[in-house]
A and B are shown apart, each in its own frame.
Chain A
């Protein structure tokens, strides 16, 4: 059990001891010398009294923003404030899928930008995040759905992003586990994005934290923001459980809790917090190479490198900060799994957990200035935030550094709702619980 986090004592040697380069050679050397040479992956910084940029939230987006601020935009006077240990929020709870198959052309551009950044990430961070592009396969079960996916694939191809149609036989040979014909909604075919896949989620947080820390960013854990301080109509800093910190710019990267932090600045947001559950099965030898999404419900599954099947479904459907799941959603996901892949029937589900999602009013994210000068929002990720971490970080850093939106994220502004420029992938409307 986690006791309530009291600040653990920071050892005297918290200064920036670089963790050194990671490589196979280093493993060999350390193996021969009893692993003595490994040191902290990121420095456990003490907060200073002022920074140029404060990033609230030590999850994927917060850490990535800090990293890109330091390495792409030359701003290192940055602190990431995380209320607990980094990376235990949604970045550590998701189903690890990366892809860029979206409907809205601006979203395709944004998520493809992210996918390209994933492709170079491990080298850039010198941390193996196991970016594994083994493919994401979207199944369809009706002609109407085929038409929809055709439209999407054609739109993607116009932007140079590949998406391949597969017939039923090709689907079966790619994923032998699938029962094409005996379910209530037979599988007619699928669309495959070969460059989609999975990433080891914890490694993303740790990798970005390490690289940002090495680049000079202060990562301050066990530091909860308790209020946002305003002065002369703009943000001037924050109050935290470790004292006040002044800043020129404060960036909120706390998806799931954006509303709560925004409220500290006197703002409301077009967001509801909802729980999304995820599950993992016991580990078995490889049976599934690609990520598969079921088209006749809401179910997606992949097999992690550890052997467990990681899968999930739709949000539970009512406002919640509970980080835990309900039974009906678990049953529904299992029904879809067994219907699509009857071979899983005797495989055991091990664990269920939940994350808290920032469900926005149009189902698309928000990377934007806010009505409060100096307060930047990176949130509204719904359940699509993980794949967007590199692009979210880069474009948020751009927005902070240049005070102008990055071209691929310009459509994700907060004003779009009132203006009517909504970005609604599936046409569901202003009902976060339905997205």
Chain B
């Protein structure tokens, strides 16, 4: 069951192993080693899909990743994967593929009507219409356009069992991109010189062009064996370098074979990030199409592709082939196919005479010199071609079932261009070649226009020598003794870009861009190649229009009456090959998107029934209940106000500051003074940004004359450390200070409430905790439940309170001891929500108020700023605008009608009718101390408005509340409780 197209053995296919698959519902057989494309061709399938815009019938054009037309949907366990290239899709048992962009079927597609009305749909037609009536764009035109756009359909099963993804990191001395003869040579020479080499090749096998020429098979085998034996060289087939990112960093996509994928749990591809000191770009050259009417018909293919199908898969792309060529290199296909038994309808050579034509004629092949193809006969498949002599007319028709065209070869320059290569026009080969600074990389072989396999080998040897020398090695002579089959003498290419005529002639097959579109673009002034590209969409499809890029520029150049060298080509951008989101994303997705930071006591909190909240990377207990609503929160807050509660505040940033100049340093960092803090005392501190705005607040404790401990807010822990390091090393490097992040080292608990002293005293040894001895804001080393730690008398809740710090490894021990000591007092663990309720009542600010747009004066901290000494932010904080009386200032708010609730984000307005915002509510909570809800707000000229009534309005909730503006210090403003 080999199919009518399988005429011989292929290098990659195993004639003994049959593989079953389905295409558009039709079951077929191929061979192991086939691609979907080669298997379809072997089965005589020509029609593969319908083109994007005109829905013209399309077939397979190439044999590789540059394929413009043979895109299919693959149906698998994970859903429908669109836009897979049949030319690179490895055939496997049970493969189910469908053609795209056609309805109801490939053979009969309703939208083919677009082809008939194509004259009314030129490039850019949509810019000129669809403007009226006004309502019609989003409701009528656009939905139709959107449904017509795109080729494949995405249907994915969104579930837990997503396939794995992986990113690997590679390091080497040299990266060789491409394992054609040039790449193999460079890898061999450099690997032999003692350098670590990575050789990557997008194909499933190494060798590229050497596979297609039997004379080179022995050389190729010897080189591949030698490289496999050389441990310093890693060969990665199926790996495409997708981007060059500078500094020797490259991104590559490695596609796994079915067998390897099964070994790795279904992994389909890997992203490899490769870091090297030097790079050799040996990416070869791509064959180009020729523009003539009907150059998109199924059966019109690139000549080199036909040779690939024959050699690699033993498949004949047709029975009777016509050839349209303009170079000697294309005759490799002519000779090979004819020798394999494929009838030759005729070789139409643009050039009147050539050495290759002579060799062909000597073998009995009919060559029409100085001729051109005017048109293709046939619609769903090639049936014949119309030929004429280029100067004399003489039209005739030749019957054929495939047309193999070759318009020359363009170096694959995308990676060189990403590295900054300029491009130069080489008239002898009618192509642009890259001009890359050797410090950025070296381009060798066909990739820089050195055609001919033997010439490419020598080119690579020379580059390898230069690189080895730069890296201080003698280049190896490994492989230099191998005989190179000589490159035949070639007659130069005669560029032919377009054969004018009636009927659509394409420069970009995937986006359905015709030569007429290019001319229209020029006529309308979109004549720069980048404008032409965007206006016509030439080169903007998944294949980046590679096989037609130069032809499009050539048509443009002709229209502008300028040489190609001036018109140029549009810039290629990463990625050289499309890669799935999953591959680019790697494994840090979904649940693993960001790390989870857990408290040392996480398990305890969980077992105690806590609902957790995500705060940045942290999981923090919100409330010790799974019931919804405020009651569990208020119960915890009440327990603190009435007796005692305990909260895990370990997420606070903690920075250890030590050194002879520690005090001076902190005076520079903080807006208020820290050098006057005595040992054994703490102080609330605020720090500003250099532009005078509030940055963070926290507590500074002086443990010893040259030893401070600084706490920061949870959210700013890393930012504050960074800020301190930056200032220390850049602004005040003369200060002798060391900073250490001790955030994770210490667990810290707040024990708060009127009975807190009794609880803490039961657990702490070595410190007299009586009110006089350990007054408000005292700090000391202490033994806590037998463990060396620290105790601080600071209060966020507004009650008598302490914070205890123990080494994180002892967290559970100390916490449990505190709970036990607190049992007689009904000690209650409280979470973030209760903490928030308590601090709002007290009027303490958090990042809701300290939000980056508030100044010290706004929050009532103006008096804390040092009047004389320098500190970060001092100068700009003194600008009048930062303390203007109409700025948004911190106030407290209470609903006049106590039963009404508040909403965070409410706007404060003069009255329900007025539209101007006077400020907004930042934090709110039902109060446990006062009746009803209380909140904090930032209000224009707030301090002057205390006592006024305003309206709080939340259109989002449809609520409006009359508010009383009060001092933010709603609870115990004299601080009797904290000083108890």
Contact = CB atoms under 8 A, between A and B. Distances in A.
B127 interface: yes
A348 B920 contact: no
B586 A31 contact: no
Given A123-B134, A153-B956, A327-B273, A334 B142 contact: no
Contact of A128 (B52, B126, B158, B162): B126
A155 B524 CA distance: 45
A403 interface: no
Interface string A125-141: 01111111110000001
Contacts of A342: 156, 158-159, 162, 589-590
B154 interface: yes
B274 to A, nearest CB: 10
B979 interface: no
A346 B562 contact: no
A44 B525 contact: yes
A335 B588 contact: yes
Given A123-B131, A147-B905, A426-B852, A352 B574 contact: yes
B689 A184 contact: no
A419 interface: yes
A206 B584 contact: no
A83 interface: no
B117 to A, nearest CB: 8
B955 A153 contact: yes
Nearest to B952: A154
B526 to A, nearest CB: 7
Contacts of A266: none
B954 interface: yes
Contact of B138 (A127, A132, A159, A335): A132
A351 interface: yes
Interface in A418-435: 419-422, 424, 426-430
Given A123-B131, A154-B955, A285-B154, A1 B569 contact: yes
A329 to B, nearest CB: 10
A2 B418 contact: no
A345 B352 CA distance: 53
Interface stretch (B13-21, B144-152, B772-780, B811-819): B144-152
Interface string B601-642: 000000000000111000000000000000000000000000
B907 A339 contact: no
Contact of A3 (B120, B271, B565, B582): B565
**Contact residue range for chain A?**
35 or more
B35 interface: no
B520 A343 contact: no
Contacts of A401: none
Contacts of A2: 529-530, 568-571
Interface in A139-193: 141-144, 147-155, 157-160, 163, 165, 177, 179, 182-185
Interface string B568-593: 11110111001111101110111111
A327 B243 contact: yes
B262 interface: no
B413 interface: yes
B358 interface: no
A338 B589 contact: yes
Interface in A325-379: 325-327, 330-331, 334-339, 342-353
B24 to A, nearest CB: 18
A419 B580 CA distance: 49
A286 B153 CA distance: 8
A268 interface: no
Contacts of A129: 127
Contacts of B524: 19, 38-41
Contacts of A207: 127
A420 B880 CA distance: 8
Contact of B585 (A203, A331, A343): A331
B693 interface: yes
B585 A282 contact: no
Contacts of B593: 183-185, 296-297, 335-336, 339
A49 interface: no
Contacts of B418: 324
Nearest to B271: A331
Interface string B130-174: 111010011000110111011111101111101101010000000
A267 B582 CA distance: 46
Contacts of B52: 283
Contacts of B386: none
Contacts of B147: 285-286
A343 B876 CA distance: 50
Interface string A383-411: 00000000000000000000000000000
Contacts of B81: 346
Contacts of A284: 82-83, 150-154
A362 B906 CA distance: 25
Interface in B802-839: none
B160 A350 contact: no
B119 interface: yes
Contacts, number: 357
A3 B593 CA distance: 43
B907 A155 contact: yes
A309 B600 CA distance: 42
B802 to A, nearest CB: 28
B590 A183 contact: yes
Contact of A1 (B413, B581, B920): B413
B495 to A, nearest CB: 17
Contacts of B444: none
Contact of A154 (B137, B851, B906): B906
Contacts of A206: 127, 526
Given A130-B137, A284-B153, A347-B154, A31 B120 contact: yes
B22 to A, nearest CB: 19
Contacts of A87: 531
A352 B154 contact: no
B245 A326 contact: yes
B930 interface: no
A131 B137 contact: yes
B129 A348 contact: no
A145 B848 CA distance: 11
A24 B129 contact: yes
A281 B146 contact: no
A22 interface: yes
B611 to A, nearest CB: 12
A282 B542 contact: yes
B245 A154 contact: no
Contact of B581 (A327, A334, A426, A430): A334
A345 B163 contact: yes
B881 A420 contact: yes
Of the candidates A157, A177, A335, the one having the most CB atoms from chain B within 10 angstroms of its own CB is: A335
The 10 closest A-B pairs by CB, nearest first: A427-B852, A307-B150, A150-B905, A420-B881, A1-B423, A151-B905, A343-B156, A40-B525, A348-B578, A334-B584
Given A150-B957, A331-B585, A352-B574, 8 more contacts: A23-B129, A26-B128, A28-B120, A38-B520, A123-B131, A151-B920, A345-B580, A429-B852
Interface of B: 52, 78-79, 81-83, 117, 119-120, 122, 125-132, 134, 137-138, 142-143, 145-147, 149-154, 156-160, 162-163, 165, 167, 243, 245-246, 249, 251, 271, 273, 413, 417-418, 422-423, 432, 516, 520, 523-531, 534-535, 537, 541-542, 544, 560, 562, 565-566, 568-571, 573-575, 578-582, 584-586, 588-594, 596, 613-615, 689-693, 695, 848, 851-854, 876, 879-882, 903-907, 909, 915-917, 920-921, 953-957
Interface of A: 1-3, 6, 8-9, 19, 22-24, 26-28, 30-32, 34-35, 38-42, 44, 84-85, 87-88, 92, 105, 122-123, 126-134, 141-144, 147-155, 157-160, 163, 165, 177, 179, 182-185, 200, 202-203, 206-207, 221, 281-287, 296-297, 303-308, 324-327, 330-331, 334-339, 342-353, 419-422, 424, 426-430
7 contacts: A2-B569, A2-B570, A40-B524, A285-B149, A331-B167, A343-B156, A347-B82
